[in-house]
Amino acid sequence: MNTNLALLLLLAPFLGFLFNVFFGKSVGKTASGTIGTRAVALSFAVSVYFFLEINQTQQAIQIQLFDWIQISNFKVDFGFLLDQLSVLWLLFVTGIGALIHMYSISYMHDDENMHKYFAYLNLFIFFMITLVIGSNLLVLFIGWEGVGLCSYLLIGFWHKNQEFNDAAKKAFIMNRIGDLGLLIGIFIIGSLFSTLDYATLKTAITGASDLNMYWISVAAFALFIGACGKSAQIPLYTWLPDAMAGPTPVSALIHAATMVTAGIFMITRLNYVFDLAPDVQNIIAIVGAVTALVAATIALVQTDIKKVLAYSTVSQLGLMFLALGLGAYEVAVFHVITHAFFKACLFLGSGSVIHALHGEQDMRKMGGLKKVMTITFVTFLISSLAISGIPPFSGFFSKDEILLVAFEHNKILWFIASLASLMTAFYMFRLLYLTFFKEFRGTAEQKSHLHESPTLITFPLIVLAILATLGGLISLPTNSWLNNYLSPLFTKVATEQHHFGTTEYALMFIAVIGGLVGIGIAYAKYIKQSQVPAEDAEITGFTKVLYDKYYVDEIYDFLFVKSINGLSRFFRDYVETTLTSMVFGLAKVTNEIGFQGKKLQSGSIGFYLFAFVIGMCAIVTYLFLVQ
Amino acid sequence: MNVSILLIILFVGAFATYLAGDKLASKVALFFSLSSLGCAIVLLNNFNAGENISFISQWINQPNISFALQADGLSIAMILLTLALAPIIIFSSFGNVYKNAKAFYSLILFMVFAMAGTFLASDGLLYYIFWELALIPIYFIALIWGNGDAEERKKAMVKFFIYTLAGSLFMLVGFVYLYQQAGSFLLEDLYNLNLSVTEQLWIFLAFFLAYAIKIPLIPFHTWQANVYQKAPTVGTMLLSGIMLKMGLYSIIRWQLPLAPLAAEEYKYIFISLGIAGVIYGSIVALRQKDLKKLLAYSSLAHVGLIAAGTYSLTIDGLRGAVLQMIAHGFVVVGLFFISEIIFRRYETRTIADMGGIRSQSPKFASMFLLLVLASVSLPTTFNFVGEFTVLYGLSQINIWFALLGGTTIILGAYYMLKMYQQVMLGETNTKAFVDVTFQEGLALVIILAVLFFFGMYPKPITDLITPSLENILTHINRIN
Amino acid sequence: MNTLIAIIGLGVLCLLFEIFELRKAIIPITIIGLLAVLGLNISEFNSPAAYYNNMIIVSKFSTAFSGLFIILTIFLVALSHKFYEHQQSKISDFIAIKIFLLAGTVAMVSFGNLAMFFLGIEVLSIALYVLAASNRLSTKSNEAGLKYFLMGSFASGIILFGICLIYGAMGSFDVIEISELSQSAELPVWFPIGIVLVTIGMFFKIAAVPFHFWAPDVYEGSPTLTTALMSTLAKVVAIATLFKLLTIMNADISPSFQIVLVIISMASMTVGNIMALRQVNVKRILAYSGISHAGFMIMTLLSTANTAGTLLYYTSAYALAGIAAFSVIIYVCKNNENEDMVNFHGLGKTNPLLAAILTASLLSMAGIPIFAGFFAKLFLFNNMLQAGFVALVIVAVINSIISVGYYFKIILAMYTKEPNEERTGTPVTIYAVAVIAIVLNIALGLFPSFVLDLLA
Amino acid sequence: MNNILNEIGIENYIFLSTILFCIGVFGVLYRRNAIIVFMSIEIMLNAVNLLFVAFSTYHQDAQGQIFVFFSMAVAAAEVAVGLAILVSIFRNLGSIDINNLKNLKG
Amino acid sequence: MSTILIIFCVLSAVTIATAFLTIYSRNPIHSALYLVISFFSIAGHYLLLNSQFLAIMHIIVYSGAIMILFLFTIMLMNLNKENEVHKPRITRLGAIVSFCLISLVLIAIFINSKPIVGEYISTGADYQSIKVLGLVLLNEYMVPFEFASILLLVAMIGSVLLSKKEKTEK
């Protein structure tokens, strides 16, 4: 029963994919979209069933399908593990997935390749489910690479534009750098524990007495590199902003809500490994905090609506990693969920705006949309408040917990995180003000077409806004359902319920004040003073550095892309030719000797006989005089 | 029934094809290749049922040479690869018209015959004979039916022939030397030799030269790109799909067990060489202008990893190598076929002249993409299974090997996607591109089906090859 | 012995046919006669005996090689039909000379007395001088004839001097006596010098470096059929005789003499192959190839105890491939001034069968399996490694690689160039000879034991 | 009659023959007139013949002298053929200078 | 020094000198005549060695047949002029070098070799009378004797072949 259901869960989107690939074009756009959406909705339903069952029984469901890969000291099964963590992830992956599918039906309606779009989207859901429910690291790896592939396909969905294709390629390759790390981690774990299966691994680690701490740390670090790639952490984050080249719903689904959280999922999944490697945990925390801050600073000055959201995502992911690094896995998970709600909502809202403006993404050409796009505005506002950490919206709870944990461990990290939060509030409201307030700054042509989006678009927005508002309820500071629910996963005793004393409340207060300060600055700048960000050419000073994202892309380009291409040219033009001429030079030399040797064969009998006699003398001398 | 029947079918097929005349040649060749594949499957069944399918008969008394064909799991796997690819390759050529087709297809079958013989032979000399024999047909195929300037092609082919022959002659000397010690060329007799480390080193090097040139490993690869580019695509497929596997197979079957001490002693060097090939091949592939050359260098990178796997002397390395060989065989044949399909429509292999094909031919684009993905070993494809196992094997030797070898998944993705982008994506090209025909599609679908099926369920192959690999490994470890 | 008598009888018969104006019948009758002689020869195989005071010693070795010579002569006689189309009036002379030449060769491999050896080699040489110069109106043929004659006589002088010294040391021409004496008593230095001088003279006949200079010029200048004879039959005879001489006369070759042999062998292979690389005349290429093969054959002299079979095999493989190649050359160049590679352009298209045969014979010479040439080299390497000459084998291997370069030049010319002339006519005898020779070659490759075990 | 070898010694014959032989070799190399070259070869053969007879006396054995007969026959045959070739060349080229015979080379 | 030795020395000197002159003289006719003298002196050696039959044979064959053939050819070609240009100096040098080399080498070897030990003892048996020679030649050496006829036959056919005009040349 469970097996069949799990297969249904997994295969529904896959069948949707197949259907759209083979028949999508013939059945028409709406039908293709509907079928895609229903497939995911079906998965959602199954997920709910599993959630209920697991929540009730507290028992993980193990499903083994078949032997997959045979390794010398172990074999890898193709199997599923449905436990608290995976079901939780399933719920929001399929849930938000279904909503975004629905949204896309309308959003993508004008695109001629809509069936392809839904095919890819379904495929993505399929791989994401695989990633989440895989019973071992290698099945996770299937999903891991699979979602990367779908991300590639969807970023480059408009494949006639080579820039988009570049972005897609970049995403795929940077992900692959991380994937290599993940693979290395898998290798080390495999050789250390002779298993890749989560359950077995957990018993092996908890049961073992003398563990090779060095290699475990290396493995943890390698796995973390993998997570960095997928979850866009420094230094592998630059692909995510570029990934905004894809259709906006894709950004919402893949690059905000689900795929980028895979890294957090994986680390949470293997928390018992990371717990054994405190050094790596510290690195994770620092990387997370720095990422949060750096991304937030960049987001401060971006003018592309999706870029702001993208850097915001990177920043929020950084916060989650901070939490992971501090061992507060459940807090990270909590933020993943709330973030999924409000960030999806924000992206979809921005999509709604872009849709209304026919593809315009520059905030400097927006403004005043509040009046025409009320629903979009309201949902956007709610989500912005949530991300800014204003109570009682969900973001407040999750972010606050991260800050609390950070404060407990390290004041500097807390300060960085708080600064990032403050900036978050600022740039989100800068975005909000520039987009929805004041007068419209676009062309008259655009203005005449401004409209609220259709129901298929607004409905998901509303649902997500509601979730963004209420999401915090699952883990209230004093009574966390989530912590209890997840506790079987963790080997360490879950972070003790905070005793809410003065410090905690003070911190909470500071956080809220910080958020409000951010909002205030934005208000002052963009409402009071009616500033509009300068044109590209006029940006100067540090703003320019921020606007150009610290030139990281350029540096990477110079360090890696240019150098490797240069190396390639060098190899092709010099090393290859040299090797060839070295090998075949021998042949040339031989040939030349042959050519010169022809002169010896002069045709003269005298010379021939001379050689004869000399040869004879040499032989005879050698044999009878030398010896 | 024993394995000699396969060789007989192919040999007879080669003649029958020649006699069938130009019009029927391709069909007759396909028929014979398919029937040999059928026989091979029957033999596989018999083998799994425990039947003895070997064939041994004394051939030359003095020196003692036998006509010995033995099939263990490894050989059968390679035979199946050969015989499965052969019909695909022949079938894929149906879209082209060749002058003097009867000779062309006859040579193809003859080459398949020789390659099959190489995989089956268990007598050193017989093996060597098949090994050399496989060289002649491809030489003529590339020479007569190749493309590009005739003079340059000629040069490239002569270099190729002499170069590969040069390598293998040293192997022959190695074999003769071994024969002096063992008094027989038979595999098991050679396995039982106890040679000193120095002797083994020389044997090892003599064999290495042959294999490194054939496979090819850097820095012995310089013939490869040119020949791949200039050979007709069918020839390129045969070369890259099957022939280079001969070298890799031979490492496992002959080189390692015959010189285990040397292999053990110097394995770091040879693994490094393989891995250097991975990185070097990938980097060179980045800036290639010719599609077939790019694929050639990608092949260089892939086989580098496979070779590194074999030299790791671990069961994982060996098993992964064999799996990856099979997977790579299919992928590379598919990719070269893709290049041929483009060539049929655009008359060019220069990447810069392509672009925007995806918009015009969705089916082709999808299949191409899937092949690219298989080539970069995305999980669920067979290549992943192989590459994962190889890399795992390498990581057991030294994690840095796995790390450096693993760069293939990054660099591979880089050049393959770059190539895909330049060839397929972008604005629609002014030149019209007709989507794949049924025949082309069928060939590609078969390849893809194999890749994805075994990507998810490699167990049949793993079970087939593992006992024989373990057996070889015990021979390798017999002295330690 | 009977073989020798029968051959001479056949030669005389040829001359009689001329007298009775039966020219047309000469070639068929000769071939039939030679086949009969071959049968006779085979019948002698298992009955070794010495005849007429040890003048002729029939052994397995001699009968086996005689058989090979007879077969080669049959091919050469068969080719004569087409080749001497325009010299019908001389046909009996040509055929008779070839038959007597065969008699000389048989005498050479079955000699029991140095007098027979010397006379045999002179019959062979004089016949070859005549054949080389036989195209009397061609200056090339004249030049070839004179060059060969002068140098050949010079070499004969050396051989004679060698024989004289042997006689001086031993007081006898009987090889068995010499052999017994050479093992027992303390020898005067004349004996080894004599052996060395005779060996050098034979090296000249085999065309080993540095006594090879005549070969390319003479091969090129001589009528093609004569070249075929020289490069196949004459070379094989010389090496077989030398082998027999060294085997019989001094059982163990001194180490320093071995070094000389190794150096000559290496030099022959290397010089032959390297010089062939830049040639354009196919006959010259084959001449140089012959020099390099001489180097290979000389290797057998290094361990005479067990290489007789290998030598027989090697020479058979080489000679059969040579016959096949030369028959194609005869066909291709029959109307041409020279034998340059240009004439072979596009042969793959105009005459695929002969192109394939030439390819096969060249592949055999290059030592590609399944052709007999491969096994020949293999067995040779096997013997040499057994005897411990690793360096020599390595040099031989490198030379095999170089040799592919020029063999493939011809093959490339046939298959990649456009034909520049129409080819008409299907001369049956040439086809038959070429096909049979190459089939025999491949058969030798597939069943090497058949020949190899003859002398085991 | 006393045997002369007691008086002269076989070595002297060897030296004489060797020198004669070498003169023959020298002539072959030195001259470019084919006929003289030819004569030089005859000198070589004669040198050997002389040595044969000397050895025959030394061994008191008739075979050496018998061999001289064969050697003479060979010389005669060679002369016949060689002169035929020479005449034929002379007819074609009008010269028997072996230095002019360099068309075949390379 | 005994008479025989003196005769030997004189004969040797004549032989070597005339042989040398054969090569050295520019006129082919002179060469031929010197060669005849050389042959006669060699016949003298034969006589000295007591093989009269061979000496006669030698004179008949060489001086009588071979040299006549030579002279005939020289006359036929009208070569009785001293028109031969010397070979280039380098070739002559090479010839001289190789001459010295080969003489030195051979003689050095013969000197180096261990001297013939013991007296030469004459057994007194007849080994070189015509009768003995005839017996040996036609009994023991019957086959080579016959085979020599083949040799001469080949030479004959060959000479004819080389001189005969093709009939078919029209």
C133-180 pLDDT, tens per residue? 988 888 889 999 999 999 999 999 999 999 999 998 888 899 888 888
Q: CA of C116 to nearest chain E CA: how many angstroms apart?
A: 6
Q: Any bridge partners for residue B69, and if so which?
A: B55, B121
Residues near A199 by beta carbon (within 8 Å), at least 6 away in sequence:
A60, A62, A81, A135
B144 contacts on C by Cβ (under 8 Å): 348, 415-416
CATH class of D5-95: mainly alpha
Residue A433: the pLDDT is 85
A touches D, CB cut-off 8 Å, minimum 3 pairs: yes
Per-residue pLDDT of A21-64, as tens digits, reads 888 888 888 888 888 888 888 989 988 988 888 888 888 888 88
Domain extents in chain B: 309-480
Nearest-CA distance A589 → chain D (Å): 18
Which range marks the domain in which residue E146 is found?
127-164
Q: What is the pLDDT of residue B249?
A: 93
A606 touches chain C (CB under 8 A): no
Residue E74 within any structural domain of the chain? yes
With beta carbons less than 8 A apart as the criterion, state whether C23 and C90 touch.
no
Name the strand (E) or helix (H) holding C159: helix C139-170
Non-local CB neighbours of C424 within 8 Å, separated by 6+ positions: none
- Domain assignment present for residue E114? The answer is no
Instruction: Out of C368, C379, C385, name the one closest to residue B136 (CB).
Output: C368
Separation in Å, CA A100 to CA A248, A546, A603, C138: 10, 32, 91, 95
* Subunit contact E150:C56, Cβ cutoff 8 A: no
> What residues contact residue B203 under an 8 Å CB cut-off, 6+ apart?
B174, B177, B178, B195, B258, B259, B262
Quickly list DSSP for A433-492.
Answer: HHHHSS---S-HHHHHH--PPPHHHHHHHHHHHHHHHHGGGGB-SSSBHHHHHHGGG-SS
Cβ–Cβ gap E102/A613 under 8 Å: yes
Sign, CA dihedral C125-C131-C136-C140, equals negative
Chain B closest CA to A48's CA: distance in Å? 28
| Residues of chain A positioned with their CB less than 8 A from the CB of C158 | 616
CB–CB contact C120 E147 (8 Å): yes
pLDDT (mean) for B213-235: 89
Higher pLDDT, E111 or B440: B440
Across C321-336, average pLDDT: 90
Rank A190-199, B345-354, B432-441, C35-44 by mean pLDDT and report only the highest: C35-44
C378–B176: do the CB atoms touch at under 8 Å? yes
Mean pLDDT, all residues of chain C:
90
Subunits with at least 3 CB pairs below 8 A relative to chain B? A, C
pLDDT of B445 over the 90 cut: yes
What is the chain A residue with the closest CA to E96?
Answer: A610
**Residues 237-266 (C) with a CB less than 8 A from some CB of D:** none
Enter the ipTM: 0.91
CA distances from C344 to B158, C51, C136, C278 (A): 18, 49, 26, 16
CB contact under 8 A, A184 and B402: yes
Please indicate, yes or no, if residue E120 is contained in any of the structural domains: no
Q: How far is CA B169 from CA B175, B253, C404, in A?
A: 10, 18, 12
d(CA B309, CA D49): 75
pLDDT at C330 over 80: yes
Predicted confidence band at A492 (pLDDT cuts at 50, 70, 90)? Answer: low
Is residue C393 domain-resident? yes
User: Over 90: is that where the pLDDT of D67 sits?
Assistant: yes
A459: buried, middle or exposed (CB in 10 Å: 19+, 13-18, 0-12)? middle
Give the pLDDT band (50/70/90) at residue E166: low
Q: What CATH code is carried by the domain that includes residue E45?
A: 1.20.120.1200
> Is E150 inside a domain boundary?
yes
Mean pLDDT of B444-448: 93
Alpha-carbon distance A586 to nearest alpha carbon in chain E (angstroms): 34
Q: How confident is the model at residue D1 (pLDDT cuts 50, 70, 90)?
A: very low
CB A172 to CB B280 under 8 A? Answer: no
Count of domains observed in chain C: 1
Question: In angstroms, what CA-CA distances link C128 with A165, C15, C166, E93?
Answer: 78, 18, 27, 32
Compute the half-sphere exposure of residue A45: CA atoms within 13 Å on the CB side of its CA: 10
pLDDT, average across residues D69-77: 92
How much is the pLDDT for D72? 92
Residue E170 has pLDDT above 60, yes or no: no
Residue A600, chain D, CB below 8 Å: the answer is: no
**Which among E95, E98, E109 has CB closest to A620?**
E109
What tens digit of pLDDT does each residue of A56-88 get?
888 888 888 888 888 888 888 888 888 888 888
Q: Is pLDDT of A235 > 70? A: yes
**Exposure string over B52-82, b if 16+ CB within 10 A, otherwise e:** ebbbeeebbeebbbbbbbbbbbbbbbbbbbb
Among C170, C238, C165, which residue's Cα sits nearest to residue C197? C165
For residues A176 and A532, which has the higher predicted lDDT (pLDDT)? A176
Closest CA to B106 of B209, B11, B230, B179: B11
The alpha-carbon gap from D35 to the nearest alpha carbon of chain E, in Å, equals 8
CA A550 – CA C242 distance, rounded (Å): 87
In this complex, the residue of B129, B179, B180 whose CB is nearest that of residue C369 is B129
Per DSSP, the three-state class of B65 is: strand
A608 contact E CB<8A: no
Nearest chain E Cα distance for residue C189, angstroms: 6
For A132-138, what is the mean pLDDT? Answer: 89
Pairwise CB contact (< 8 Å): C190 & E113:
yes
Pick the residue with more confidence: E88 or A373? A373
Structure confidence at residue E169 (pLDDT): 45
Domain around C400:
254-456
Say if the Cβ atoms of A613 and E101 lie within 8 Å: yes
Total beta-carbon pairs less than 8 A apart between chain B and chain C: 81
**What band does D3 get if pLDDT is binned at 50, 70 and 90?**
low
Task: Match 């051939």 to its residue by tokens.
Answer: B59
Q: Between residues 587 and 606 of chain A, which touch chain E (CB distance below 8 Å)?
A: 604, 606
pLDDT, position C251: 55
Average pLDDT value for chain A: 85
Q: Over chain B, what is the mean pLDDT?
A: 90
Taking only the tens place, the pLDDT of each residue in B268-314 is: 999 999 999 999 999 999 888 899 999 999 999 999 999 999 999 98
The mean pLDDT of B158-172, rounded to a whole number, is 88
Kindly state whether residue C62 falls inside one of the protein's structural domains. no
Q: Note the pTM of the prediction, 2 decimals.
A: 0.91
**Minimal Cβ distance to D88: which of C114, C122, C133:** C133
Does any CB of chain D come closer than 8 Å to the CB of residue A621? no
E78 shares its domain with E132: no
Q: Token match 């390679």: residue?
A: B78
- Chain B interface includes C415 (CB < 8 A): yes
Q: Tell me the pLDDT tens digit for each residue of E29-82.
A: 888 889 999 999 999 999 988 888 899 989 998 888 888 888 888 888 877 665
- Which one is predicted more confidently, A485 or C435? C435
Domains in chain E, number: 2
Contacts B161 to C, Cβ<8 Å: 404, 408
CA neighbor of E90 nearest in space, from D22, A604, A618, D39: A604
For B95-142, the pLDDT digits (tens) are: 888 888 999 999 999 999 999 999 999 999 999 999 999 998 999 999
| Contact flag for E and A (3+ C-beta pairs < 8 Å) | yes
pLDDT at C69 over 90: yes
Question: Over 50: is that where the pLDDT of A161 sits?
Answer: yes
